[in-house]
Each structure stands twice: as C-alpha cells, then as structure tokens.
Structure 1
Amino acid sequence: MTDVTNAGAYSDPNTTPPLGQTVPLGLQHVLAMFASNVTPSIIVAGAAGLAFGSAEQVYLIQMAMLFAGVATLFQTVGVGPVGAKLPIMQGTSFAFVGVLAGVAATQGLGVALTACIIGGTVHFLLGGVIQHLRWLFPPLVTGLVILAIGLYLIPVAIKYAAGGAAKFQMEAESFGSLMHWSVALTVVVVSLVVKFFTKGFVSNAAILIGLLAGYALAFVLGMVNFGAVGNASWITAIQPLPYGFEFSLGAVVAVTLVSIVSAIETVGDCSATTKAGAGREATDREIAGATYADGLGTAVAGVFGGLPNTSFSQNVGIVGMTGVMSRHVVTVAGLIMIICGLIPKIGAVIASMPLPVLGGGVIVMFGMVAAAGLNMLTEVTMNRRNMIIIAVSLAAGLGLNLVPEAVQYVPGVLKTLMTSAVAPTAVIAIALNLILPEEV
C-alpha cells in the first residue's frame, strides 16, 4: 500500500485513482487516525464523570466518528469558500483536551460543548484573516504550544495505563496492578513492532493493531464487559444540544485561544499536504478554505455533542508516502467515518475497551504530540533569547496547571485560562517573542 503505480499522475487534487485503489487508500487514511480520533471524547467523558461504557459515553464516541467524517467532507468537497479541496483528513483534536477536560470536570459538558460551538464560529471567521496572522505563530510559538499539550496529557496517559483517570477510576486496590500494566505495555510494544517492522497499510495502522492486541489480552484476563454492546442500537439517534446551551466566558475564551492555535496547525498541514503531494506551496485560497472548514466542522460538531475538529498530521504523511494527492481518496475516508458514526454498536465496542488498553495507546499518542512540538522547535535557533522564551513559557504554563491552588484567588475566567496549560504557554510565548529583542 506504500506505492501507487504512476502516483505522479495523481498530483492534481481533482484526479481520482481507479476504484480498486481509491477505496483501500481511503481506508488506510481511516486506520491511520481512527484511534486518535475517538480518544479525546473518551477522556473528556471521563473527566465529566460519565461511566465508562455508558450510553452517554458511547454517544460522544459516535459523534466523534460522525463529525470527523462530516468535517472531512467540508475540506475535500467544500461549499463556496469553505474547504481547501485538498486531501486533508479531519478528526477530533487533542489540542482541546486539556481545556475541555477541565471545563467538563468543573462546569459540565453543557458548558464545554457551548464553548466548542462559539469557539468553532470564531475559528470559522479566522478564515478571512488567517493569512495575515501567520507572523504571530512562528515555529518557536507553535512548537511550544504543541509541546505543552503533549506534556500536559502524558500524566493522563499514565493514569489510564494504571487503571483509571480523572473522576472515573477502576477499583482502588487494583490501580497500578501488574495486570493493568501488562495490558498497557502490550499495546505499546505491539504498536512499536508493527510500526517499525512492517510497511505501508499495516504500518500506518500500528496504533490500531496495538489496541486490538491489548483488547484481546484484556478479554482473556476477564477485563472486558460487552453488556453495553448488546444494549446499543444499530442506528444513531442524533440529538441537537444534548447537554443544553450553557455560556461561560472563561470556557469560551480558553477554547477560542486553542482554536487559534488549531487554525495555525491546519495552515501547516495544508502547506505540508501541497508540498508532499504536488511539490508546491498552498495558495491563500486553500489556506483560507481549510480554516473555514476547520471552524465549521468544530461548530457543527459541538451542536450535536462532538468535540472540536482539526486536520490530522499523520494523514499528511500518507499523502507524502503514496504520492496520491487526490482529494476524492480522502472523501471516501470521510464517508467511511460517517458510516461508523451512524452505527452505535461500533461506539459501544470502543467504549467496552478497558482503560489500560486505551492507556497504552495514548502513552504513544500523547508522547508523539510532545515529540511533534519538539520537532517544530528544531527549526528554531537555540540562542539565549529563544531558550528563555521556552523556559518561561513552559514553566509558567505547566506549573500553574500542576499547582492550580497557586491562583485560587483569581476570578473564575482568568483562573480557567491560567490553569489550562495551553493558554498561558501560548500567551507568554507570543508576548515574549514580540517583546524580547532578537540576538545579533
């Protein structure tokens, strides 16, 4: 699956490979992002106190799949100025997990999803000005923000691997048991072996295969309960505003700030896609269209219980690997995700996955988020100025998140922002980058 005959013939986004290649290539895009797409919904649901495997959690997983597909169609098919009309796969964004988990835990899912709707709308409006804001987010700032996201999430991964996280935990006496860690480490080891000792289709599905291996071991150990699968229906009943519409200024501001970072990530993915697939820079229209689609996908998903969407970088790698730039291949991938999202039994199977299985997967995924940030920082000259910006931004952003009591007397809106890890890191990095003089 790594090679497509005459791939150069498909460097035009509007061309389509033969059907026998289009469908498998589309499925490959789905496999590369499937596990990453549903994980944020599971984490936020846990933070909100939803029981693992409950009907509410299954619904959130369904919406993650359904609206990843819908947002992908916004990108690949497009409507007017919306959509880059490039092979860009959309999925639920990890960047928002820290903020939304905190909001869901303290103020509920209604507040969190309302913030997603409003933040998505602002994100959509950024499409008209995004090309003029790129100077605010050089690799130093963007890399720092992505690194902060990964570092913030890694403790969550360890808690899941040990058997619990946030408000929901398995039996206290079994937390950190050898049984839990054997399952989590099976996922990690299998994922790494498959990734580096296989090629193409199988290699790109390494995380998914690792999760399946951990799932199988957990089943053998008696950790899997399929009760929710039997009770789940075959067709999703989509419900607008399932948790109501509850406005919180702090939540909206925090989500909107992350939306700006997400928009910049999408600009990077858009540029990387055209570079990898066609050997050219992305046009202003493509960048604007990609941003419009990002925001619209997030806002629409929020209305029905889905979390914010963004472009998935791992799928950009598939475009570069295959040389197939056809947007219709990714359209097929979007349609597959929509079909998965409309079948609740698929979500129930995912929700039956024990926490240590998920923990093993997110150890790799969250570590890769941090590594992606480090990779962006390699483009930065490590002089004293830039090292100070990195040091102060990370220390303040992660420090306040780890010790939220340090700002316990700060008003609610500011406290939400200051303890979100991502927002303070981004604000401090942008400010210092603008204020501190460049070194000669």
Structure 2
Amino acid sequence: MEKLLYGVEDRPPNLITTTLLSLQHLLAALGGIIAVPLVFGGALKLPADQIVALVNAALLGSGIVTIIQCRGVGPVGIRLPCVMGTSFAFVGAGISVGLEHGVPGILGSSLVGSLVMIIGSFFMPVIRRFFPHTVTSVVVIMIGLSLTPVAVDWAAGGVGSGNYGAVGNLAIAGFVLALVIAFVQWGKGIISASAVVLGIVCGYLLCLALGLIDFTQVREAPVFAIPQPLHFGMSFPVSGIVAMSIAFLVTIVETTGTFMALGAATQTPIRGKRLASGMLCDGVGSAFAAVMSSPPVSTFAQNVGVVSLTGVASRHVVMLTGVMLLAAGLFPVLGALVVTIPLPVLGGAGLMMFATIIAAGIRMLGGSADSRRSNLIIAVSLGCGLAVTVRPDLLSKMPAFVREVFGSGITVGALVAVGLNLLLPGREVEAPEEDMDAVATPLPVTSVAT
C-alpha cells in the first residue's frame, strides 16, 4: 500500500500549499454546483436575477456544509475531505415540482424531504452491513464509470455544443491530460500534489493566448451579494414532498457508495457510526440549503478522484475549499471567473481524476474472494449499472417513479450488487460494528507520494 502524501489529519506546511491543494477540489466541484441552479432556472424560465440568486445561494450553502462535513460539529459531519454541492440526483424531481409549484415548491419539498436522509442516518450502522468488500468495490468502480462520460463530454466541448468533438477541443483536453500525467509522474512534492490545478492553469493560459476565453459573465456578475434566507419563500405540495423524498432515498444509496469510496481513497475504515455522521450532515445540510434558497446538497463523488490521484487526503485542505465556495457565494464575480474555464480544459483533468477512481476500485476488487459467486455479483452489477450510464434512454418508456429511482448507474449498480449479495447462497457479511477494528484494514489507493 502506498503512503498518502497528506493523511486525513495532516496539515500542509503553509497557506500557499494549502490554497493550491484546495483549489483543485474547487475546480473539480464548482461547475457541478453552478450547473444545477442553472438547469433549474432554464427549465422554469426564471428571470436572470432569480437565477443569480439561486447560484449564489447554492455556492454559499455548499461552502458552509462542506466546512461542517470536514470539521464536524458534534454528531454532524464525517470528518473526511468531502466537498458538498448541489446534486443532479434532485434535478428530475425538482423540475417536475417546479413546473407546477415554482421554486417555493422545490425548496419546501426539499426541506421536508431532507427528513428522509436525517432519519435514515440513524440506521446507517445497519445499512453499512449491506456493503461488504465486494459490494463496496463495485460501487467505487461504478462511481468512476459514471463520471468518466462527463469528462469525455467536457473534453469534446460540452453536450449540445456546435463544435462538439472538434479537433481543437480534443487537442486542448489532450494537452491538459498530458500535463497532469507529467506532473503526477515526474513532479516532486507540491508539484505532484497540485497536478490537477497546475494542468488546468496551463490549459487556461493556452486558451487565453488563443482567444478562447469569454469574460462576459465576469463583467456581468455582481461583485458582492449576500444570499437571503427564504428569498423565494416556501410551499409544501404533497406531490412534491413525495417526489423529493424518493430522490433523497436514492441519494442515500449513492452517498453511501461515495463515502465508502472516500474511505478507500483516504485509507480510513468507514464504520457505521462515522457513516451515520456523514449522512446526517447531508440531510441537515440539505435542510439548511433549502432555508438559504438553494437546491439540496450531497457529497460530490468527483472529488474522490482528486484525493485518489494526488494522495492528498487532508480534511483541512477541503475545509479551505469550503471557505472558497462560501466566498464565491458572497462574491459572485469569483465564481464567474472560474466558470470561464473552457470545458475541454476541465475535461482533460477530469478524465484523469475519474479514471483514477476506476483504477482504485479495480485494486479493491483484488481483495475480493475469487469465486463464481463474487464474479457473478461483479459482472451483473457492473453490467446493469453501465446499461443505465451509457444508454440513459433505456428507461424512457418507464413510469416516472422508475426513472427517478433507477436513473443513476451508481444507484443501479449498488442496488443490484446488494441484492445479489443477499440472494445468492454464501452471503458475504460485513463484520459487526464492535469487531471492525480487528478486521477493517485500509484499502489501497492510487497515490503520488514518493
């Protein structure tokens, strides 16, 4: 097992190093955090000022909940390097609610629906036992497989772009990818640890020199703005509460898998109690986000790739990322500046990060029993998860409830793996909570430490 460059409790030697390492997580997450309120705004045809208010609230809420998740406040927070942000898992349900009841309906339904995750957090020690080593390995791989197409679309210029797949886009993405590989392989110390942000900066400078950067959003963004609690008000439609509650149930499965993947990347055994603290933060954080006029939040899987690739597992680093997100919410011009990064630049770095999660999952599978039963669980669950990931239209004729529950490849892969592990003879069982210290050894991760 390779040693991490910075462990969970380690602190980098100075503020400059910490800032560089934190910036990597910000760049990996910011696009996703901003995208969700933009999708809501576009689907509901909101005026520009209301979309800006949604974006600011999402950034501020994500920053505050990230700090709590990393630092921990009493029983709330997993105390690992988790970046929290608005989640696409809620987009389908949110839009359906919003088209009928507007933004107040989305926020009110989210507030009530978050109780599902809050209550569910108290059962996490039991839920944890449904995720033995083989199941966890499958979920980690599915996280990487589900995120990789996102990076590919970024590298090609973005879905719906008129120049999707253009040679120039792929060349820029390839340039950034090559730089990240070089920094990881041959860089030393802070250079290797900051490989992602250095690759993105170099790619950004190249695009700037080629005149590919559009600063319109920066010029139009307000310099300072304070998100107002209950800015849109709230309403509590029964149909909306049911829809968002289902979305929260699905998110419990995805977030459990993400926490397990993060445990592998940080070489930290994830026991039921720690899992419960993280899930409680997700639920409380989503309730707080709703009050702050933001869509619900959840743990970002893409940042697991940053930890796996760089070997930087310090929660103190990601706490600073939370501060940066908070600042971006108060100073929208900062967030607008980051949004100017061309998608191919993010795609080159993202491809490396997300593929690293796949590699970590494959290494984890090496510790699974080599038996017909294990191979069957792995093959079927990955196949079903990939079916939804690469062919999302597969469920287009299904009822809305089915699309909501099974629309994510991560969720499908996890549910199939858990189900097969329960149904097939010779069930693999996670050790009881009190025995975890004796059996839970840190899982291998991809690290750049030398």
TM-score (norm 1): 0.76
Within the candidate set 183, 190, 193, 1:204 is matched to 193
What is the deviation of 1:135?
0.8
Map of 1:84-99 to 2, 5 A cutoff?
84=78, 86=79, 88-92=80-84, 97=88, 99=89
Name the residue aligned to 2:202.
213
Paired residue type of 1:295: G
Matched, 1:141 2:135: yes
Question: Is the CA contact 2:308–2:357 (under 8 Å) kept in the aligned structure 1?
Answer: no
Matched residue of 2:83: which SS? strand
Question: Is the CA contact 2:306–2:353 (under 8 Å) kept in the aligned structure 1?
Answer: no
Question: Aligned partners of 1:416, 1:376: CA distance in 2, in Å?
Answer: 29
Question: Aligned partners of 2:83, 2:119: CA distance in 1, in Å?
Answer: 20
Matched residue of 1:151: which SS? helix
What is the deviation of 1:290?
3.4
Within the candidate set 224, 234, 237, 2:213 is matched to 224
Which stretch of the first structure deviates more once superposed, 240-249 or 259-268?
240-249
Question: Aligned partners of 2:145, 2:264: CA distance in 1, in Å?
Answer: 26
When residues 106 and 146 of structure 1 are mapped into structure 2, their CA distance, relative to the original with a 3 A threshold, is farther
Query: What are the Cα deviations for residues 30-55 of structure 1, in whole angstroms up to 9, with x where unaligned?
Result: 1341222213235546766859xx87
Question: Is the CA contact 1:83–1:293 (under 8 Å) kept in the aligned structure 2?
Answer: yes
What is the deviation of 1:302?
4.8
Which stretch of the first structure deviates more once superposed, 348-357 or 304-313?
304-313
Matched residue of 1:83: which SS? coil
Name the residue aligned to 2:448.
none
Question: Is the CA contact 2:114–2:245 (under 8 Å) kept in the aligned structure 1?
Answer: no
When residues 421 and 315 of structure 1 are mapped into structure 2, their CA distance, relative to the original with a 3 A threshold, is closer
Matched, 1:164 2:190: no
Matched, 1:41 2:33: yes
Question: Is the CA contact 1:270–1:287 (under 8 Å) kept in the aligned structure 2?
Answer: no
Name the residue aligned to 1:253.
246
Identical-pair percentage: 28
Question: Aligned partners of 1:216, 1:334: CA distance in 2, in Å?
Answer: 26
Matched residue of 1:136: which SS? coil
Matched, 1:351 2:339: yes
Name the residue aligned to 2:407.
419
Question: Is the CA contact 2:33–2:58 (under 8 Å) kept in the aligned structure 1?
Answer: yes
When residues 32 and 198 of structure 1 are mapped into structure 2, their CA distance, relative to the original with a 3 A threshold, is same
What is the deviation of 1:222?
2.0
Count of aligned positions: 411
When residues 192 and 258 of structure 1 are mapped into structure 2, their CA distance, relative to the original with a 3 A threshold, is same
Which stretch of the first structure deviates more once superposed, 403-412 or 424-433?
403-412
What is the deviation of 1:229?
0.6
Name the residue aligned to 1:74.
68
Question: Is the CA contact 1:71–1:90 (under 8 Å) kept in the aligned structure 2?
Answer: no
Question: Is the CA contact 1:257–1:423 (under 8 Å) kept in the aligned structure 2?
Answer: yes
Matched residue of 1:82: which SS? coil
When residues 298 and 81 of structure 1 are mapped into structure 2, their CA distance, relative to the original with a 3 A threshold, is same
Question: Is the CA contact 2:113–2:244 (under 8 Å) kept in the aligned structure 1?
Answer: no
When residues 129 and 28 of structure 1 are mapped into structure 2, their CA distance, relative to the original with a 3 A threshold, is farther
Paired residue type of 1:142: T
Name the residue aligned to 2:173.
184
Question: Aligned partners of 2:152, 2:308: CA distance in 1, in Å?
Answer: 27
Q: What CA RMSD, in Å, does the superposition of the two structures yield over aligned residues? A: 4.1
Paired residue type of 2:83: G
Query: What are the Cα deviations for residues 361-397 of structure 1, in whole angstroms up to 9, with x where unaligned?
Result: 3222332333343333233223211111122222223
Matched, 1:395 2:383: yes
Question: Is the CA contact 1:401–1:418 (under 8 Å) kept in the aligned structure 2?
Answer: no
Question: Aligned partners of 1:163, 1:228: CA distance in 2, in Å?
Answer: 18
Name the residue aligned to 2:443.
none
What is the deviation of 1:349?
0.8
Within the candidate set 277, 299, 308, 1:289 is matched to 277
Question: Aligned partners of 1:217, 1:259: CA distance in 2, in Å?
Answer: 41
TM-score (norm 2): 0.74
Paired residue type of 1:158: V
What is the deviation of 1:307?
5.3
Question: Aligned partners of 1:356, 1:393: CA distance in 2, in Å?
Answer: 31
Q: List alignment gaps of at least 5 residues for structure 1.
A: none
Which stretch of the first structure deviates more once superposed, 371-380 or 240-249?
240-249
Map of 1:294-313 to 2, 5 A cutoff?
294-303=282-291, 304-305=293-294, 308-310=297-299, 313=304
Within the candidate set 129, 132, 135, 2:126 is matched to 132
Question: Aligned partners of 1:112, 1:408: CA distance in 2, in Å?
Answer: 23
What is the deviation of 1:91?
1.0
